[in-house]
Amino acid sequence: MTLFSRAAAHLFKCPPRQSRKIGVQKDISVPMRDGVTLLADRWFAEDLEHGLIVLMRGPYGRSGLFSLIARLFAERGFQFFSQSCRGTGGSGGTLNPMRQEQADGLDTLDWIRVQPWFAGRLCTYGASYLGYTQWAMASEAGDRIDAMALWVTLSNFRNETLAFGGFTQDGSLQWTRQMAAPRPLWRQLFRPSRKAEMEKIHAHLPLQELDQLAVGQQVSWWQDWVGHGEPTDPWWVEIDHSATAGDVNVPVAMMGGWRDIFLPWQVKDFEAMQAKGRDAWLTIGPWGHASMGGMGEHLCRALRLFSAHSEGSGLLPDRDRVRLYIMGAGEWREYASWPPPGSRCECLYLSGSATLSQTLPSTALDPTEFVYDPNDPTPALHGPRLLGGAKKPDMSALEERTDTVSFTSPPLASSMEVVGPVSVERYIRSDRQHTDFYTCLSDVEDAGRPLHVVDGYRRLRPGDPPEDIDGVRQVLIEC
């Protein structure tokens, strides 16, 4: 493990290690308020004084990749406290995703603070679900947390599970399959579920039976999710911590990827903190949700933030608040805020003859029509995925279908850099009250292939949005 950690530290460009003598306390019992006991491991440098605590709480175990992360922190003078969430990794109780993390997290903070090895400062670390556990604690933790490092995550899991009004079936079922019928982490990352098998499962109705097909048994949280399909259902309120994101008054380093499923809401969390003048930093790189490159970058940012906090400054040195990898240019840039200062809104208009124009049409246009057949659903080709994704996101196959319409601009006279939020306003009339609409912004390369840049969708429900007298609905789709 020492040789492996040295190789990982070199690969991830970590700061120099301070100790080679690393101790580990395994399966530490941490009592919760309801009598359930959660298990944790504590990693520390045996030849250094008790350092700042780094707390990571998650449902994916504490070995393998997570023990490597723990060692990398411990070698740099931190105490790393890795805890398994309720019902996972040997911890007691039953997993009820997202709904138990606030109480259990706060109980863990209180327990750590009375331990003889607690040195007065505690920071939190983790990605995805492990980032959500941080938000769940932070909304009520007050000064019990000193800094946070968040990677590919969000403060409100409802926003991703019921994204833009539609149920995110692919990622939600994939996660359910992993948690209810666990597979090794390496297999998740490098051997995703067989495509043909999962396509058959996804095509099945009703949705309430998909857990049985994917896992072989009924899964309680899957039944809960599909049983609360309305975004306004109060059942979801308990896992929504977005309203208090801007009130978290500790230094927070956020990192996301342009191809990550959580990015739209992670940016909103940053904007909430930015609006309140909090010490928050946002990095967006060329990564998907499970990118090893992104994980390494996040680890280094966390080490820098926690080191600065341990030394008394609490700020990330030598960088602006926003750091972005500009995909087309292939380079990193830094900005003072989000969206980048000096940017402007560019409007393009759907025009006649399937054209996309920078000029508002001067006359009324006939509507463009298409027919959608649920028995031959329009496939999801590209865009953010929980795992995987094509390197060359060619949208040609989708453009050639009869259930899609395309609008293409003339070649641009000069380079255009698109950085920031993208949205589409459409005026729609459908013969079904429940209708899904999808929009993709593509970059047409010299060879004529449309390459996916960003996309979005929205599910229409009766009265949402309302119709005018002719049955037309004005629909805003955020990408």
For every residue of 150-164, DSSP letters joined together read EES--SBTHHHHTGG
DSSP string covering 402-460: TT----BPPPPSS-----S--EEEEEE--SSSSEEEEEEEEEE-TTS-EEEEEEEEEEE
Q: Are residues 297 and 355 in the same domain?
A: no
Q: Are 166 and 160 in contact (CB under 8 A)?
A: no
Tokens of 53: 């605590």
**CATH code, 386:** 2.60.120.260
Q: Which of 190, 206, 228 is the last residue of a domain?
A: 228
CB 22 within 8 A of CB 75: yes
Q: Please give the tally of structural domains in the chain.
A: 3
Q: Who wins on pLDDT, 340 or 10?
A: 340
Residue 413 in this model has a pLDDT that exceeds 70: yes
Of 276, 311, 335, the one marking the end of a domain is: 335
The DSSP H or E segment spanning 25 is strand 22-31
Tell whether 218 and 237 lie within a shared domain: no
**Per-residue pLDDT tens for 86-139?**
999 999 999 999 999 999 999 999 999 999 999 999 999 999 999 999 999 998
Rg (CA), the chain: 24
Eight-class DSSP state of 290:
T
**Segment 9-18 mean pLDDT:** 78
pLDDT confidence of residue 330: 93
- 146 with 243, same domain: the answer is yes
**Which tokens belong to 206?**
């009703």
Domain boundary among 311, 335, 359: 335
Averaged over 429-446, what is the pLDDT?
90
Q: Answer yes or no: do 180 and 156 share one domain.
A: no
HEC string of 96-147 equals CCCCCHHHHHHHHHHHHHCCCCCCCCEEEEEECHHHHHHHHHHHHHHHHCCE
Q: Are 378 and 203 in contact (CB under 8 A)?
A: no
Provide the 8-state DSSP code for 211: H
* Distance between CA atoms of residues 91 and 153, nearest Å: 23
* Domain identity same for 8 and 117: yes
Q: Same structural domain for residues 206 and 321? A: no
Same domain, 122 and 210: no
Q: How confident is the model at residue 364 (pLDDT cuts 50, 70, 90)?
A: confident
Residues 350 and 381 occupy one common structural domain: yes
Query: What does the pLDDT read at residue 15?
Result: 82
Looking at the fold, whether 250 and 205 belong to one and the same domain comes out as: no
**pLDDT value at 312 more than 90:** no
Residues 320, 382, single domain; the answer is: no
Does this model's pTM top 0.75?
Answer: yes
Q: Answer yes or no: do 259 and 301 share one domain.
A: yes
For residue 140, pLDDT beyond 90: yes
**Exposure class string for 424-447: b at 16+ Cβ within 10 A, else e:** beeebebeeeebbbbbbbbbeeee
For residue 349, pLDDT beyond 60: yes
- Taking the C-alpha atoms of residue 195 and residue 185, their distance in angstroms, rounded to an integer, is 18
User: What is the span of the domain harbouring residue 355?
Assistant: 344-479
- Looking at the fold, whether 426 and 369 belong to one and the same domain comes out as yes
In Å, how far are 185, 224, 385 from 213, measured between CA atoms?
22, 17, 21
pLDDT tens for 183-233 read: 655 555 445 557 778 888 988 999 999 999 999 999 999 999 999 988 889
Report the CATH number at residue 133. 3.40.50.1820
Tell me: pLDDT of 389 over 80.
no
Residue 407 pLDDT greater than 80, yes or no: yes
